[in-house]
Amino acid sequence: MKNILSTLLFFVFVISFAQNDSIFNRLQAISNNGLTFYNIDGYTITSETLNYPFSEKGLKKVYRKYSIKKDEKKTKDEQLPFNNYYVTNDKEITEKLVQNSSYYFIENQDKRITIIQFSSINKSDKEFEHSIVKPIIENTIPKENYASMTIDSINFAGRKIKLGTSCNWTNVNTVQCPYYGEMNWSVHKDLEDAKNTVEQQFAITKSRKNGKVISEEMVDIEFEGTETKAKKVIYDFTGMTSVLASMSGGKTLTIYYVATEVRGNYVSCVLSFWNNDTIRENGLAPLLEKVMKLKK
């Protein structure tokens, strides 16, 4: 019986390790001024520790900071080995798009409150959330998953790309290079999830009130050595946004939406540049040509 129990525990450990290893292969993070931002599977995740005790008084202050209303249901997640309260709410973006938000208010090892927030579109997965919450609280996320705030190079789905020092993070896995283009990406568990994410990002773009899509077509590209297709969109700004953009010479954005397999990783990526950015003879801004080519 003892040998059987030991064998079962070994397999549980192996399975748990393999799951975490898979997650860490997709997870990227950035820490800045007490906030940590994570990106995986199209989720936007943040964690923050506040110097309040895990008490009714302390929690009330934290709920207020995170705009959690008194009447919102706060439940204990019994599947987590920490004192915690869990809150979830949904916000409709369009008739077909819902932003799902989950909040974990956790008593950490220092008896303070750590808040972990998940935000996603049209999906919510408690088991997945637990797989992220535990390593955050236990501080077991590998150091190599964290990117430096100062960009010299980026880890793009397993390939190190040199960018120099002129680019900036505007979010985790979102790089903006003045006059050279911008891109955001996420690594997913499967290709279907990657495709859903870029379709949702395109739908959000179309739903915005500060402009309109003036052209849309599918084009053949080579993305990180893989031949695939991308949705190419020209987006024209209107109103005050158009006025502000035109002050710097910008008028339209060219946007590419891509979802494909890259080096065994399933990647969603949105790449864009302004009409007055530096544009090479190949029709792309310098940042974009680091990862893609247009096929003739």
| CATH number for the domain that contains residue 42 | 3.40.1000
Read off φ and ψ for residue 50, nearest 5 degrees.
-110, 145
Dihedral sign from CA coordinates of 125, 129, 132, 138: negative
Domain residue limits at 140: 2-145
pLDDT in tens, 261-277: 999 999 999 999 999 99
pLDDT in tens, 43-60: 999 999 999 999 999 999
Amino acid 204: pLDDT: 94
Q: Identify which of 285, 102, 123, 283 has the alpha carbon closest to the alpha carbon of residue 193.
A: 123
Q: Flag whether the pTM goes above 0.85.
A: yes
The band of 39, judged by pLDDT with boundaries at 50, 70 and 90, is: very high
Q: Is the pLDDT of residue 9 over 90?
A: no
Contact between 106 and 83 (Cβ < 8 Å): yes
**Percentage above 90 pLDDT, the chain:** 81
Residues 229 and 124 in one domain: no
Residues 140 and 51 in one domain: yes
Average pLDDT of the segment spanning 284-291: 97
Contact between 198 and 270 (Cβ < 8 Å): yes
Cα distance between residue 10 and residue 16, in whole Å: 10
Average pLDDT of the segment spanning 155-162: 93
Distance of CA 97 to the CA centre of its chain: 17
Q: Encoding tokens for residue 209?
A: 């009130």
Q: CA of 247: how far to CAs of 166, 238, 240, 241, 253, in Å? A: 22, 13, 11, 10, 15
Residues 158 and 109 in one domain: no
Residues 114 and 160 in one domain: no
Per the listing, tokens 């290893």 go with 21
Cα distance between residue 162 and residue 153, in whole Å: 4
Average pLDDT of the segment spanning 24-46: 95
Amino acid 20: pLDDT: 53
Of 86, 119, 145, which residue is a domain's last?
145
Residues 121 and 216 in one domain: no
Q: Is 173 left (phi over 0), alpha (psi -120 to 50) or beta?
A: left
Q: Identify which of 39, 31, 138 has the alpha carbon closest to the alpha carbon of residue 80.
A: 138
Of 81, 111, 145, which residue is a domain's last?
145
The band of 239, judged by pLDDT with boundaries at 50, 70 and 90, is: low
Determine which helix (DSSP H) or strand (DSSP E) holds 279, and give its type and residue range. Answer: none
Of 94, 125, 145, which residue is a domain's last?
145
Residues 109 and 200 in one domain: no
Write down the mean pLDDT value for the chain.
90
**H-only helix segments in the chain:** 2-26, 56-65, 126-138, 191-207, 239-247
Residues 160 and 35 in one domain: no
Which residues, 6 or more positions from 217, have their beta carbon under 8 angstroms from its beta carbon? Answer: 231, 232
Average pLDDT of the segment spanning 109-119: 96
Cα distance between residue 289 and residue 79, in whole Å: 46
Residues 203 and 261 in one domain: yes
Q: Is the pLDDT of residue 31 over 80?
A: yes
Cα distance between residue 218 and residue 117, in whole Å: 35
Q: Encoding tokens for residue 217?
A: 């077509």
Per the listing, tokens 């009130």 go with 209
Residues 7 and 138 in one domain: yes
For the chain, what is the domain count?
Answer: 2
Cα distance between residue 150 and residue 166, in whole Å: 10
Q: Is the pLDDT of residue 178 over 60?
A: yes
Q: Encoding tokens for residue 55?
A: 């008490």
Amino acid 120: pLDDT: 96
Amino acid 44: pLDDT: 95
